[in-house]
Chain A
Amino acid sequence: DGGITQSPKYLFRKEGQNVTLSCEQNLNHDAMYWYRQDPGQGLRLIYYSQIVNDFQKGDIAEGYSVSREKKESFPLTVTSAQKNPTAFYLCASSGRQEQFFGPGTRLTVL
């Protein structure tokens, strides 16, 4: 089955630690995205990549970093500089007519 996988589903970290969220797709899409979701805020774009080895900041990139070394993979690192990292994180990829979403990772920073 084609789709997007995110792991883990739930993640707990101590304040001050960096953490990396995984996103893999087998849809052969060039474009991939990371969104952050908070209650009542909708989805806000963190970073996106339209092609391997290239990525752009979205609307709330501060405190986050990404890499795009392979077409199928777009990991997101939440650094200790992110002031309020507890949230639900969604990865997506785009074909020509639709954006597909992964199941999400819920990050809780204690």
Chain B
Amino acid sequence: AQSVTQLDSQVPVFEEAPVELRCNYSSSVSVYLFWYVQYPNQGLQLLLKYLSGSTLVKGINGFEAEFNKSQTSFHLRKPSVHISDTAEYFCAVSHDRGSTLGRLYFGRGTQLTVWP
């Protein structure tokens, strides 16, 4: 079975500081990796994805992530956060991508809180 571990349930950080949200996955087959953001009482919005190619992936709002196959990790980073980045962040993995992306397996989420 696939599993995704988000190592920190809460990450507090001051505005303009850098942040890293950690994600590890377990899989013995090819994987496709995603980070989503969720603001209170809303659906999930895709931040970035790794499907193939370059292991450094850039997304929206200045976020980036690096796929590390040997360490089975896909950590999310931002060099300088803003108050508006306060939200919950979910890491997800799929191992099925034919004509349609297969089901996603989600981590439990990391609440990022940015303080002024």
Q: Which A positions have Cβ atoms within 8 angstroms of B?
A: 4, 29-31, 33, 35, 40-45, 48, 50, 58, 88, 90, 92, 94-104, 106
CB distance from A4 to the nearest CB of B (A): 8
B13 close to chain A: CB less than 8 A: no
Report how far A40 CA is from B94 CA in the complex, Å. 21
B99 close to chain A: CB less than 8 A: yes
Query: Which A-B residue pairs are the 3 nearest by beta carbons?
Result: A101-B43, A42-B108, A101-B44
**In the bound complex, do residue A95 and residue B100 qualify as a contact, i.e. CB atoms below 8 Å apart?**
yes
B84 close to chain A: CB less than 8 A: no
Residues of chain B contacted by A29 (CB below 8 angstroms): 100
Residues of chain A contacted by B90 (CB below 8 angstroms): 42-43
**Can you name 8 A-B pairs with beta carbons within 8 Å?**
A4-B43, A40-B9, A92-B44, A95-B100, A97-B97, A98-B49, A101-B43, A101-B45
Residues of chain A contacted by B94 (CB below 8 angstroms): 99
Q: For the complex, would chain A's binding face be called helix, strand, loop or mixed by DSSP majority? A: strand
**In the bound complex, do residue A50 and residue B100 qualify as a contact, i.e. CB atoms below 8 Å apart?**
yes
B28 close to chain A: CB less than 8 A: no
Q: Tell me which of A35, A40, A43, A95 contacts B101 (CB under 8 A).
A: A95
**Chain B residue at smallest Cβ distance from A38:** B108
**In the bound complex, do residue A98 and residue B43 qualify as a contact, i.e. CB atoms below 8 Å apart?**
no
Given A95-B100, A96-B97: A43 and B106 within 8 A (CB)?
A: yes
B51 close to chain A: CB less than 8 A: yes
**Chain A residue at smallest Cβ distance from B104:** A99
Report how far A35 CA is from B103 CA in the complex, Å. 11
CB distance from B74 to the nearest CB of A (A): 15
Report how far A44 CA is from B97 CA in the complex, Å. 20
Tell me which residues from 47 to 102 in chain B have a Cβ below 8 Å from any Cβ of chain A.
49, 51, 90, 92, 94, 97, 99-102
Residues of chain B contacted by A33 (CB below 8 angstroms): 103
**In the bound complex, do residue B43 and residue A94 qualify as a contact, i.e. CB atoms below 8 Å apart?**
no
CB distance from A32 to the nearest CB of B (A): 10
**In the bound complex, do residue B103 and residue A48 qualify as a contact, i.e. CB atoms below 8 Å apart?**
yes
**In the bound complex, do residue B101 and residue A99 qualify as a contact, i.e. CB atoms below 8 Å apart?**
yes
